[in-house]
A = this chain, B = another copy of it.
Amino acid sequence: MLPTPSDNVDFLEATYRKIFPQDLEFRDRAVAHLEQLTMPHWALGDLMDLAVDLAGMTRSLKPQVKRKKVVVMVGDHGVTVEGVSKYPSEVTAQMVYNFVAGGAGINALARQAGADVVVVDMGCATDLSELAKPGTILSKKIGTGTQNIAHGAAMTRTHAVMAVEAGIEVANQLAPDVDVFGTGDMGIGNTTPSTAIVATLTGKSLDELTGRGTGLDDEQLDHKKKVLERILQINKPDPRDGLDVLAKVGGFEIGGIAGLIIGAAAHRKPVVVDGFISTAGAMIACKLEPFVRDYIICAHRSMEPGHGAMQEKIGCRPLLDLNLRLGEGTGAALAMNLLEAAVAILTEVATFADAGVSGPPVS
In the complex, A323 Cα to B325 Cα: how many Å? 24
Residues of B within 8 A of A112 (CB): 337, 340-341, 344
- Could you tell me the distance between the alpha carbons of A356 and B95 in the complex, rounded to whole angstroms? 9
Q: Is the CB of B358 within 8 A of A44?
A: no
A98-121 near B? 1/0 per residue, CB < 8 Å: 100111110111011100000000
Q: How far is the CB of A4 from chain B (nearest CB, A)?
A: 36
Whether B94 lies near A356 (C-beta < 8 A) is yes
| Distance (whole angstroms) from the CB of A172 to the closest CB of chain B | 30
User: Are B334's CB and A107's CB within 8 A?
Assistant: no
**Complex interface: stretch among A16-24, A54-62, A235-243, A346-354:** A346-354
CA distance A182 to B86 in the complex (A): 40
Residue A1 is within 8 A (CB to CB) of chain B in the complex: no
Query: Are B86 and A361 interface neighbours, CB within 8 A?
Result: yes
Option from B86, B340, B354, B359 in Cβ contact (under 8 Å) with A103: B354
- A40–B108 contact, CB under 8 A? no
Q: Which residues of B contact A88 (CB under 8 A)?
A: 358
Interface stretch, picked from A72-80, A150-158, A224-232, A314-322, is A314-322
Most buried by B among A39, A95, A214, A360: A39
Q: Judging by beta carbons under 8 Å apart, are A43 and B90 in contact?
A: no
Say yes or no: B45 contacts A325, CB within 8 Å: yes
Partner of A40, one of B86, B104, B107, B360: B86
Cβ contacts A206-225/B at 8 Å (1 or 0 each)? 00000001110000000000
Are B326 and A44 in touch, CB under 8 angstroms?
A: yes
Residues from chain B with Cβ under 8 Å of A338 in the complex: 322, 334
Number of this chain's copies in the complex: 2
Determine if A246 is an interface residue (Cβ-Cβ < 8 Å).
no
Indicate if A97 sits at the interface (CB-CB under 8 A). Answer: yes
Given A87-B358, A355-B98, also A47-B322 (CB < 8 A): yes
| Residues from chain B with Cβ under 8 Å of A94 in the complex | 355-358
Q: Which residues of chain B come closer than 8 Å to A107, judged between CB atoms?
A: 348-349
Q: Which residues of B contact A303 (CB under 8 A)?
A: 45
**Distance to closest chain B CB from A63 (angstroms):** 14
Q: Is A324 a contact of B103 with CB atoms below 8 Å?
A: no
Are A324 and B361 in contact, with the CB atoms below 8 A?
A: no
**B residues within 8 A CB of A350?**
98, 101, 103-104
Residues of B within 8 A of A103 (CB): 38, 348-350, 354-355
* Contact residues in B for A91 (Cβ distance below 8 Å): 357-358
Q: Are A322 and B104 touching (Cβ within 8 A)?
A: no
Contact for A101 among B324, B344, B355, CB less than 8 A: B355
A147 close to B (CB within 8 Å): no
B109-A341 in contact (CB<8A): yes
**Given A44-B330, A47-B324, A355-B101, A349:B38 Cβ within 8 A:** no
A185 CA to B31 CA, complexed, in Å: 26
- Residues of B near A43 (CB, < 8 A) are 105, 214, 324-326
Given contacts A334-B341, A356-B97, A324 and B108 within 8 Å (CB-CB)? no
Q: Mind listing 6 A-B residue pairs with CB under 8 Å? A: A43-B324, A87-B359, A94-B355, A94-B356, A94-B358, A97-B355
New A-B contacts (6) at CB < 8 Å, excluding given A38-B95, A112-B340: A43-B105, A44-B326, A103-B348, A111-B348, A215-B360, A334-B338
